[in-house]
Amino acid sequence: MKDFIEGVWHPVIDEDKCTNCDFCYEFCPKGVYTKDNEKVVVENPSSCVDGCHGCEWQCPSGAIRFPEPITKEYVTKVIRWSKKKNKEVSSKFLDYVLKNQIIEECEINRETKA
């Protein structure tokens, strides 16, 4: 799993920086990471929680990055993608974007109902 998946929040490991310390693998409660021949890899990107940066903050090498900054356009894309996949957008993520005034509540409602 090397490339970003459009509209899906998930980590990508920079293999040049990764030291295989396992911190992200041991930290993530969602089973996003697995071990492949002793190497940590992103196995289940769609299990990642929208807006979560937990493993990134654990990584001592700065080897983890995410698809794109959380902008209004990104939030809209996540909502549309989730609708298409019949998935709920996590309330944690929506709380985060509202708290940081990235998007207005009425716009979220409009996208959710559209």
**Judged by CB, which is closer to ligand SF4: 30, or 85?**
30
- Tell me the closest approach of the beta carbon of residue 16 to ligand SF4, in angstroms: 11
Residue 2 exposure: Cα atoms within 13 Å on the Cβ side: 2
Q: Give strand pairing partners of 16.
A: none
In the chain, the amino acid numbered 88 is: E
Q: Which residues bind ligand SF4 (CB under 6 A)?
A: 11, 13, 18-24, 27-28, 30, 32, 40, 48-49, 52-55, 58-59, 61, 63-64
Q: Is 13 strand, coil or helix?
A: strand
- Tell me the closest approach of the beta carbon of residue 58 to ligand SF4, in angstroms: 6
Q: What is the largest CA-CA distance in the chain?
A: 48
**Judged by CB, which is closer to ligand SF4: 50, or 111?**
50
